[in-house]
Amino acid sequence: MTEAEIRTAFAREGVACRQFGAEFSARLRGGLANLLDRSSRVGARVLDWPGDPYADALPVRLAAGLNALVQAGQLPELAAHFPPHAPGDDASFDAALSAALHDDRIDAWLDGAPQTNEVARSGVLMPGLLAIAAATGLPLALFELGASAGLNLRLDSYAYDLGGLVLAPPAAPIRLAPAWDGPPPPAADLRIVARRGVDLNPLDVTDAAHRERLLAYVWPEQVERVARLQAALEAAALDPPTLDRGDAAAWVEERVAPVEGRCTVVLHSIAFQYFPATTQARIAAHLEAQGARATATAPLAWLRYEFDSPEAAALPTLRLRLWPGEDRLLAHAHPHGATVQWL
């Protein structure tokens, strides 16, 4: 890629941020597109990036590094321009940003692929689990693929308003109330008797560095989202989810089979698209084979909250395959769980 193409990648990412209403993040990326130069190690490394800046999410890596250092109090000049402060005039913002690029602690942030765990997706997965509980009348055992830090495995500890269906467990660390369209989900008795997740790179909620890493990728002007993630991480650190490291296919093949007296639920959110095609095919084949063995008293469910349309503007869907049973489209939902259109 040429230097001009690298700058374009930053500018385009800024446009995407603006489309999502993230004005500060748009300005930061626009500033980086113009200000990057070879006077700093970080600037030179970015402009000479050997790979594809889009596929590598290079602007996200650099923005997260800056955000992490700001949040840790290590870039006070730039911090004065970061939310919750107003960014100020362009000249002083650009000067602070240019100076910050000389901080070599950012360099490490360019190494790793971004990783998130969006806890508001529980507001989409939860009604899916209620639908499973209503259909089967059984307790559920959860197997989450691409679980990241496992925050969505703890979804029954969160409070909800799901189209008027209110769930309020004691001491809930967060409350999720997605903008709802359609009837509420079934008010089923949800009992989760087992839960476990897998990720190629599971993040440890008890590790402060892992928590900081997750928080750094959230656009800093999205203060509610940052606060929600912080609260969910703090609660999870007191009761960490069980996660295994590895590829999802081998894990599913090893662990997922129908069990008498419970519904075995495989679930995932905005993860399947990142799995290699062979992993996707092996998971589907294993679930078909196990589904053929499932019965009404030992059912198997596959709950997917994923982008499944090639149309760029299409929302992710929530789909449920139940064995014995059929494949149902349950909802369309915003990728971060902000809206749910329940069908």
Ligand X SMILES: C[S@@+](CC[C@H](N)C(=O)[O-])C[C@H]1O[C@@H](n2cnc3c(N)ncnc32)[C@H](O)[C@@H]1O
When asked if residue 115 is in the footprint of ligand X (CB under 6 A), the reply is: yes
How many whole angstroms separate alpha carbon 59 and alpha carbon 29? 7
Site for ligand X in 138-157 (CB under 6 A): 146-148, 152
Among 13, 118, 156, 221, binds ligand X (CB under 6 A): 118
| Gap between the Cα atoms of 281 and 72, Å rounded | 42
Position 219, amino acid = W
Q: Give the total of residues touching ligand X (CB under 6 A).
A: 21
Cα distances (angstroms) measured from residue 327 to each of 150, 300, 301, 304, 340: 26, 12, 10, 11, 19
3-class DSSP state for residue 72? coil
**Binding-residue pattern over the window 232 to 261 for ligand X, x denoting contact by CB under 6 A:** ---------------xx-------------
Contact region with ligand X (CB under 6 A), list: 19-27, 111-119, 185-193, 230-238:
111-119
Q: Is 222 in the site for ligand X (CB under 6 A)?
A: no
> From its phi and psi, is residue 136 left (phi > 0), alpha (psi between -120 and 50) or beta?
alpha
Phi, psi of 150 (to 5 degrees): 80, 15
CB atoms within 10 A of CB 183: 11
- What lies within 8 Å, CB to CB, of 301 at 6+ separation is 132, 136, 140, 263, 264, 265, 266, 320, 321, 322, 323
Question: In whole angstroms, how close is the CB of 304 to ligand X at the nearest point?
Answer: 11
Q: How far is the CB of 226 from ligand X (least distance, A)?
A: 15
Residue of the chain from 117, 222, 264, 317 that contacts ligand X (CB under 6 A):
117
Residues 273-302 that bind ligand X (CB under 6 A): 274-275, 279
Residue 267: both structure tokens together: 């679930």
- Examine residue 201 and tell whether it contacts ligand X (CB under 6 A): yes
228 near ligand X (CB under 6 A): no
- Indicate the residue among 49 and 307 with the shorter CB distance to ligand X: 307
Identified binder of ligand X from the candidate list 159, 165, 172, 200, rule CB under 6 A: 200
Q: Which residue is nearest to ligand X (CB)?
A: 146
Q: Which of 152, 290 has the CB closer to ligand X?
A: 152
Which residue from 25, 40, 67, 116 is in contact with ligand X, where contact means CB under 6 A?
Answer: 116
Under rule CB under 6 A, residue 23 binds ligand X: no
Strand order in the sheet with 192-199: 179-181, 339-342, 327-333, 317-323, 300-306, 263-269, 140-145, 192-199, 243-245
Q: Which of 7, 45, 121, 154 binds ligand X (CB under 6 A)?
A: 121
Residue 123 in the binding site for ligand X (CB under 6 A): no
For the chain, the straight-line distance linking the first and the last C-alpha, in angstroms and rounded, comes to: 45
Contact of 46 with 33, CB cutoff 8 Å: no
198 belongs to the binding site for ligand X (CB under 6 A): yes
Give me the residues that bind ligand X (CB under 6 A), please.
115-118, 121, 146-148, 152, 198-201, 247-248, 269-271, 274-275, 279
